[in-house]
Structures are given as C-alpha cells and as structure tokens.
Structure 1
Amino acid sequence: MALGVLVETLQGKLEGVQEDSLQAFRGVPFARPPTGVLRFHAPEPPEPWVGVREASRFGRAAPQTKAGFDLFSGFDVGEQGEDCLYLNVYTPAADGARRPVMLWIHGGAYIMGSGSQAVYRFGALVRRGDVVVVSINYRLGALGFLHLADLGGASRNATGNAGLLDQVAALQWVHDNIGAFGGDPGKVTIFGESAGGMSVGTLLGTPAAQALFHRAVPQSGAAHSVLGRRGATKLASSMLEELGILPRQLDRLWSTPVEAILEAQQRCYTRAVGRGQRSFQPVIDGDVLPEPPLDAIRKGLARDVPVLVGATRDEWRLFGLMDPQSAKLDMAALVARIETRIPGADDSGTTRGHKIVEGYRRARGRARDDPPELFFAIETDRMFRIPAVRLAEAQSSNQRHTYAYLFTWPSVLMGGALRACHGVDVPFVFGAIGSKGADRFVGGGSEAEALQQRTMDAWLAFARNGDPNHPGLPTWAPYATERRATMFLGPKCELVDAPFEEERRIWEGIL
C-alpha cells in the first residue's frame, strides 16, 4: 500500500492509496457531520477543505449496538460516532475513464452495519469487472429514522428519513464527483442486501433520488419496509418514554448522550422483534416519501431504471438462530405467531394467520405437519420473497428490463441446517469464496467458485448494460406476470417459471 494517488473533488483534493491493481479512497465526507443542532436533520452539503485531505482510513461508522452475528467474521464496524457520513471509493484508476459505478448500501436491519465491513470485498468486483465501487455509511436506528414531526419536531426541522436522505446525499456526491475517479455519473447502479436491499427498493420510490442512479439490485429486500406516520409516531413516543422525555421537552433530545439513545433504541427494537415486526426504517412522511414506495413504483416513478431483484430460498432460517423457540413450535403456537404478525379475519371469523398456515400445509406436502419448517417458509415469504415478487410485478409493468432471481446455494453452517439462508448470496457477489469467513458460512471448492463467477458476472453485466445475461448462465428472460421467469442461482443454475406459485397465491390480497 502506498500513498500518493491524488484526485480533486468539488470539496478539495484527496490523497488515496494504491493497493495492488486498484486505487482506494476511504473516509471521504459526503455531508456535514450531523452533530449538535444537526442531529435528526436532513444532511447538509459537505464543507470544502484547504490543501490535501488524506483518504487512506475509513471514517467512523454510525452509532449502533453490538451486532448479533458473532458466528461470522468480517462484521466489525470499527470506530463509531455521530460524525459518520463518509463513503469509500475503489477504482481501477482515477484516470478520467467512464466506467460503470456500483454503489453499495450495507444491511443490518437499519440499526447496525457500515460501508467498511470486511465481509464486503469490494476489490474483487473492481478487478473482475473494471468498475468503480462506492460504499457508504448512513445514519441508523433512532438517529436515522425517528419521526418527530407529529410530536413537535417539525419546528426543529427534524426528519424521520435522515438515514434515507443520507443515501440520497451520497448519490448526489457520486453524481458530482465520481468522474474524477474514473467513473461514469450516467451509469450508476445501486445495490444492497437486507436493509440495504430494502433501501434500494425504497430509493426506487423516492422522488429526490430519481436521476441519481440508473440500475437497481435489491438483494433480500424490496419496497415494503416502511412505516406509516401513525406507526412511526407511536415508535417515536415509545422512544421518548424510554428516555423519560415528555413531548413538550423535545429539545432535550438534541443534548441526550448517544449512549442513552442507543439503549432506548435497543429496548424499542427488542419489543418490535418480539411481535415479528421491524422498528426503525423509512417513514411515509408526506414529504421525502409522499406515498408508499411500491405505489410510486407501480405508477412509473422509476420507469427508466432496470431492476434485478431477488431473495434466498430459506431466508428466515438465519434468524432462527436468535429465536430458539422457533424450533419447538407446535401447530397451535405456529398459528398464534402468524396471527400476531398478520392480524385480521374474514367475515366468517377465520383469521388470516390460520388461513396462511393451512395454505402452506397444503403447498408444502411433506412438511405439512412440521410447524418449525412451515414457520421458516412463511416468514421467508412474508419478509423477503413476496416483497421481491411485488417489486418485480410493479417495475415490470413499466420497465422491460426487470429480472428476478432466487439464490439456492445452501450454507454449510450447523451441518447444513440453515440451508439457503439470509446472507448466503453475499460472498458470491463479492468474490469471497476461498476466504476463511466465507468457507465457514458457504463452503468452498470448484462448484462454489463456478457459482461465484456466474453471480459476479451477472451483477457486473447488469451494471454495464442493464441486463444480467452472460455466457456462463442459461438465457435469463425478463420478469413478466404471464411467466414469472426466475433464475435459480445455486448448485444448478436454471431459469424456472413461476416458482412456489401455490405459496405466492396465498398472499394475494394480504401482502
């Protein structure tokens, strides 16, 4: 590693590092530090600097509690602080060429993660695809998504979508500056997994983000993960109660220690998870998000953006590690859980939860009398696969280049019990097969390496052309409701029409 790679941005000069065959610029500010009076505010443009700013080290990650993924390596986020709005650029050369740009939005349930986690091996994509990769931080949890407008926060210019607006600000920085790093501001792909995929889906329905990106790849996340004003205000009220702050004392939030905010946030989050719900996430506030993102997408807001969307086959099995009771469910307990997650009943009094469980018992055949198996299947579909299907349906009605996938490679953890769980696709996208952490999670060998090449080449082809087809895969037809063509990416790569169709029909009118 050697310093000495200079680039001039609109804010000033940066000195990056040469690392083998790529150049890296880390810890680049894309907004003013959201501290002090700017806490809970929309991001403001970054301030210029005089002289040369060193860009060899990552900036701070957003404040967060300890991650729950001690099983896996590469998830450490490093130093944290409210001064966290930094991005990182990886390029073959800051030479003025116009390469495709891929901007990664990290996951972590909107409460944890960063753009500097080692699990994301950005250099592999840069080298294989001759692309520029950008990774970003954004505000998380209450600091990023606390909706105070209906509790008096509007007078303080607080926004419940600070974290989402951070992502928009990063995209604006890329639009304004990426040309100096060898990237094309007119060919920007946003991609992300889990909450990052949900962010990508939400950005497709965010008016302020339009024209700042040109392709979108939501992985294990779509456009459903938003709160309405009522739910967001209820969550904010719970936060205030946890902090001992009355609505008339709202100003105290700006001086509350971040540690106290994180502790209160964790209690709110834990309660929500216990109900099978999320807590802090983007808010349909009538301003940043005038309407549900999926509605905006259906109406054609992002009609010019090709989309590649999908999920893993057994997403929810990963979360079973943090829910030991899920392995002990009987049928009555299963129905009760699903009724909590999906309330409501028909005119005869039959609950939605009961109907969904019975529908999956019919659809899953041999698993019909296995409550834990049914629970994982229902939650996988409720949280990930069906939202991906809905996004594919919405976008394909406006954009021919809409593609769907299902990742089927099984994890090797716990003797394979996790199957194709949440996150299993990430090592393949980032070329991590063969590394210690990836081998422990997804295994290795020639078959895994071959899938890694096929996956990376599909993502890179999509970033370049808006089409994931390449010679290493069967012909990948666009998604349309008449056929619902879906590429299975796993030990066998094949295009499958309308997979798990019986299960999909169960959710009509529900999700």
Structure 2
Amino acid sequence: MSKMVDGRISRREALLFSASAGLGLSLPQMSNASDSVKTAAHSGPGTLSTPRSAIAKTQYGKVRGYLDGGVFTFKGVPYGETTAGENRWLPAKAPKPWTDEMLTLTYGSNCPQNLHSWTGAQTFIQDWDDGWISEDMLKLNIWTPSLTGKRPVMFYIHGGGYSFGSSYELPSHEGANMARNHDVVQVSVNHRLNILGFFDASVIGGSAYEDSVNVGMTDLVAALKWVHDNIENFGGDPDRVMIYGQSGGGSKVTTLMGMPHANGLFSRASVQSGGGGNIPTKEQQTEVARQMMKDLGLQPNDIASLQKMEWAKLNAAGNAAVAKVNPPGPPTAGPVAGPPRAGWSPSIDGKNINLRSFYDAAPEISKNVPMLVGSVSEEGNRMSQHPTEEQWHANLAKAYGEDKATALVSTLKKSYPNKAIQTLSYMCGGAGGLNGLSMRNNVVKMAKLKHELNAAPAYAYYFTWQTAILDGLPGAWHTAELQFCFDNAKRCEQGTGNTPEAQALAKKMASSWAAFAATGKPSTAGINWQPSDPASNGTMIFDNQCRMVNDPDGDSRKIILA
C-alpha cells in the first residue's frame, strides 16, 4: 500500500465510470466537485494547512485532513466498503483496515443518480453542485474545532427524496462554521439511493438480500454506528448525537426514529420540510422486482446479471417497472392521503422498518428523543414559473375546487399584501409538487403525534425570512433555512445576499440548532422557544424578528383541510 491513500479517482477511472454510467459527466465537472463545492470559497479566517496535528484515529486506521481557520476538516472518510458489483444490495460492509495514513481531503463520490436539469435563477439562488458519482459512496465528512473533548455531534442527512442528492449538493451543507462558531462536531453523510438503495433483491438473490429493500436506510444506521464508535477521536460525544435532515433528509430522520436498529444511536432529531412519508409495503416492492426481471428478459434468480449491469440501464428498467405496477394517479410517497405506491423509498419489511413513522403514529421507541419540526413559507418555489393571478387561481381551482381557490387567494393576499403574486403562488400553487401550506399541515400533524406520546417534546418552527435577491421573488424557498441553521450567510451569499439581517438571523438559528444538539432544548439568548402543543400549535417564527406565534398561517392551511 502506498504511504498516502488518496480518495480521488484517476483520469482513466473517471472516463470509465462516466461512460459506464451513461450520465454524460465531463472530467472538469468531476474534478471540480471532487475537491470542494466551491474550492475558492473557504469561509474561515486565516490560513489553510495540512499539519501533522490534523491526523485522527479510527477503528480502521488513521485519517489525515486539513486545518482551515481553526477547524479540523476530514472529507470522504469511509464508513463502509464499495457497494459495487457483488456488494450491490448487500448490507454495508465495514471498511477494510489500512496501515498508513489515509488522505481525507476531498469529498467522496455521490450515489449514481440522474443529474438535475434546473437552470437559471433556481440554480443560482441554491448554488447547486451535482458532484461526481460512484458506487463507492459510503463516506462521511467531519468538521471539528478540536480532536479532544466531548462536544455535541450534529449528523446531517441530505435531501433529494430517496433518489438523488448528496452531502455537498448545496454550499449551505458546509459544516466549518458550525464547528468554528458553535463548538460542535459537524458530520454529513452519503448513502445509497434510488434502485441501489430500495430494491427488493431478496426475491431474486435469496435470503442474503433480505435487507436490500431498505439498504439505503441501513447505510445510515451503519454511519451512525461509525459515529458512535469513532467520534470521540474527533472531539465528539457519542451520547449527544443529533440527527437532522431537510426534505427527503427529514423523511429519513422520521424513518430512523422508528427503526429498532437505530435506537440509542442518537438523542435529538430535527425534521425540516419533510418527514412522515406514506411508504409502501415490502410486497409492493417485490412486485417491482419481479416486473423488472420480466421486462429485462432475465431468469427470476439471475442476481449476477443485475450486479454487473450499468446503473443507467438498471435504473431505467426499475423506473419502467415502478410505472407498471403502480395504479394510475399521482405519487403518494410523501405526507399526503391515498394508498402508498411502490418506488424508491423505504418500505415496511417487518425487520428494519415496521411502521410508517409520523404518518400513522409517532414511534414509541424514540419517545424520549426531543425533536425540532418545521418548514419554510415558499416551499413550492419554482423560479421558472411566474403565473398571473388568474393563472394562479385557475391552478388552485383545478386542485381544490373553485370555492377553496377563491378563499386561498383572498386569505393569502390579505395576510401578505406586499408579496408578489408569483411569490404567493409558491406558498400554495395548486399545480403539483411542493406546497408551503400542505407542509405546514404536515408539521402540525407530526408535532401533534409527538405530543401524544407524552414524553419528549416537539419544537415547531416556520422559516419566513424573505431574500432580497431577484427583487424578493424567491421568498423563503425549499432549502432556504439551511443557509441559516448552518451559519453560512456568507458562504451562500447568492441566496442570502450576506446582508446584516441575514448574518444576524444565521447566528440566531445556528446557535439554536447547536443548543438543541447540546441540551435537547433550542432556546438561546433572544430565542425563547417553547414546545408545541395541539391546542395552540405554538411555533417559532424565524425572520428578522424571531418570535413565538400560535398557528402561523393557520387560516390559510385549514382551507386545504376543510
């Protein structure tokens, strides 16, 4: 083995993977993303160095990171072996020990996925980065102010549903400022997604693959176990681990809260703009597998052919099978009514997952875990859509009927007289996709389910801060709060403008999230955050003036429920 183990892929490997995945990635894209989301945008003061002091021990070997503005940084640390080839759909295997120092200077690969097609304003305000992809993606990233001590650990899980996304897709995920300014150990993680993470291979390969239908979630359990066993060597406290995630990451959090094998691996949780998914049964996922094998013309037990198949072909076949086995109608994998549909999401297998956590009920096994739960006001932001008031009304009428459409338009215009129609439509659009008022209803529901356990509380929030970028039209878009709870107003100035107001709010939110990680209570100086209850739906508003409000936008959200 070479003296230094470098996690970067060679030019030849990049070419081979790009060709085999069929995703059209260019080498410059892969090179840039493999180092950092924005290599020139280090937000810390001072210099960057790679001193011998930036070496930490893990149970598998030593890792060497770098020191940037007082923060020790380790990227692409393996918590599992490659999931490619014969390891496809098997539970994560522990990394093979190494004897010399492993360089952990750059982000690891992301799970194979379709690259996003957003352009223009949407990509600008989020500053999105697709990164590079490989099935050797069981990696995590760590930021810490010191390798000694016992600090709270903040374990972030990315969004993208269960099909795409990564730990570094947004610069808001950068954890250096949380370590630097809030004395925590920040961790982020990549894991298996889409058909690689949620395919029932047991019907094809037998009992060795009994966990395959939920292996994308058991990867996260493996990462949490790695944290439990190793984080003390990075200055972290394994008994104070907060899991949190946004969008699909929030749904992963609520799922973990109901998973027996994750019990005891975390002590706080935050669910942000997601959670409470109406997941399918294992039998539904089994039907997808059988249909796919039939479509591919393979023998029912030919697991080897599937493990050799390039991801793009495999995923296309899986998506086609999903479309065939599902009944007509819109997807219902999220927090909406209707029968659950097969597809790339966790499912109830009776072993790893045995309930629809925070959809049917709050899980008893995590009743003593306090949680934050919240959303943003303009969840449905699509900068490509700018309807007139008449178009907006028509979309609402199609979704909810004429009377509700009229009531929604009237109520929202009265509540927010200074917002443009385009921005109001992002609060409740009626044209499918994310919906701010529906997400508020889901937050209220989840907080109520948690309250009914009569144990650890739920603290509700509503992020309503309006950006000044692009004349304020984007509002508080889906993912907007991440720039603030990670204390990254400067890092994310394309969305925040890095105004004094944005800087102040970022300090408040990040301090609150860090306090919650440390103590299980999110109140800090200037943030008197009380638990929510079903009678008042007390909610912390995060805006230029942070304050507790009873049931914000209650009149509007209840119109949908009527």
- What TM-score do the two structures reach when normalised by structure 2? 0.78
Q: CA deviation at 1:249?
A: 4.5
Q: CA deviation at 1:288?
A: 1.2
For 1:72-471, list aligned pairs within 5 A.
72=124, 74-95=127-148, 97-117=149-169, 118-149=171-202, 151-158=203-210, 159-224=212-277, 226-233=279-286, 235-236=288-289, 240=293, 243=296, 245=298, 247=300, 249-264=302-317, 275=330, 277=332, 279-294=343-358, 298-318=362-382, 321=384, 329=391, 334=396, 336=398, 338=399, 354=401, 358-359=403-404, 361-366=406-411, 375-376=428-429, 379-381=434-436, 384-398=439-453, 399-435=455-491, 438-471=492-525
For 1:23, what is the secondary structure of its paired residue?
strand
Bigger drift between 34-43 and 461-470 goes to 34-43
Report the CA distance shift for 1:429/1:238 in structure 2 as closer, same or farther (over 3 A): farther
2:67 to 13, 18, 24: 18
Q: CA deviation at 1:505?
A: 4.3
| CA offset digits 1:432-478 (Å, max 9, x no partner) | 2134xx332233311111111111111111111111111122x2111
Q: Give, in whole Å, the separation in 2 of the partners of 1:413 and 1:231.
A: 44
Q: Does 1:29 align with 2:84?
A: no
For 2:372, give the aligned amino acid: L
Bigger drift between 417-426 and 220-229 goes to 220-229
For 1:309, what is the secondary structure of its paired residue?
strand
Q: Give, in whole Å, the separation in 2 of the partners of 1:247 and 1:181.
A: 47
Bigger drift between 188-197 and 67-76 goes to 67-76
Q: Give, in whole Å, the separation in 2 of the partners of 1:85 and 1:41.
A: 13
- What TM-score do the two structures reach when normalised by structure 1? 0.85
Task: Check whether the contact 2:127–2:494 (CA below 8 A) recurs between aligned residues.
Answer: no
Q: CA deviation at 1:490?
A: 1.4
| CA offset digits 1:324-366 (Å, max 9, x no partner) | 8999857666555x4xxxxxxxxxxxxxx54xx7446435525
For 1:496, what is the secondary structure of its paired residue?
strand
Q: Give the count of matched residue pairs.
A: 485
Task: Check whether the contact 1:69–1:75 (CA below 8 A) recurs between aligned residues.
Answer: no
Report the CA distance shift for 1:465/1:374 in structure 2 as closer, same or farther (over 3 A): closer
Q: Partner residue of 1:342?
A: none
For 2:213, what is the secondary structure of its paired residue?
coil
| CA offset digits 1:56-113 (Å, max 9, x no partner) | 2222221112123442364324331111101111111112x11000011111222222
Q: Give, in whole Å, the separation in 1 of the partners of 2:426 and 2:66.
A: 49
Q: Give, in whole Å, the separation in 1 of the partners of 2:291 and 2:471.
A: 41
Q: Give, in whole Å, the separation in 2 of the partners of 1:58 and 1:119.
A: 15
Q: Give, in whole Å, the separation in 1 of the partners of 2:292 and 2:412.
A: 41
Task: Check whether the contact 2:157–2:252 (CA below 8 A) recurs between aligned residues.
Answer: yes
| CA offset digits 1:184-221 (Å, max 9, x no partner) | 00000011111111111211111111100001011111
Q: Give, in whole Å, the separation in 1 of the partners of 2:239 and 2:437.
A: 35
Q: Does 1:9 align with 2:58?
A: yes
Report the CA distance shift for 1:94/1:270 in structure 2 as closer, same or farther (over 3 A): farther
Q: Give, in whole Å, the separation in 2 of the partners of 1:470 and 1:397.
A: 26
Q: Unmatched 5+ residue regions in structure 1?
A: 339-352
Q: Unmatched 5+ residue regions in structure 2?
A: 1-48, 334-342, 415-420
For 1:101, give the aligned amino acid: V
Q: Partner residue of 1:63?
A: 112
Report the CA distance shift for 1:362/1:332 in structure 2 as closer, same or farther (over 3 A): closer
Q: Give, in whole Å, the separation in 2 of the partners of 1:360 and 1:148.
A: 45
For 1:450, give the aligned amino acid: A
Q: CA deviation at 1:500?
A: 2.8
Report the CA distance shift for 1:175/1:507 in structure 2 as closer, same or farther (over 3 A): farther
Q: Partner residue of 1:497?
A: 550
Report the CA distance shift for 1:265/1:383 in structure 2 as closer, same or farther (over 3 A): farther
RMSD of aligned residue pairs (Cα, Å): 3.3
Report the CA distance shift for 1:493/1:187 in structure 2 as closer, same or farther (over 3 A): same
For 2:267, give the aligned amino acid: H
Q: Give, in whole Å, the separation in 1 of the partners of 2:438 and 2:229.
A: 35
Q: CA deviation at 1:397?
A: 2.5
Q: CA deviation at 1:315?
A: 0.2
Task: Check whether the contact 2:412–2:556 (CA below 8 A) recurs between aligned residues.
Answer: no
Q: Give, in whole Å, the separation in 2 of the partners of 1:229 and 1:264.
A: 19
For 2:265, what is the secondary structure of its paired residue?
coil
Bigger drift between 392-401 and 84-93 goes to 392-401
User: Identity of counterpart residues, as a percentage?
Assistant: 30
Bigger drift between 140-149 and 488-497 goes to 140-149
Bigger drift between 368-377 and 241-250 goes to 368-377
Q: Give, in whole Å, the separation in 2 of the partners of 1:396 and 1:275.
A: 31
Bigger drift between 302-311 and 283-292 goes to 283-292
For 1:226, what is the secondary structure of its paired residue?
coil
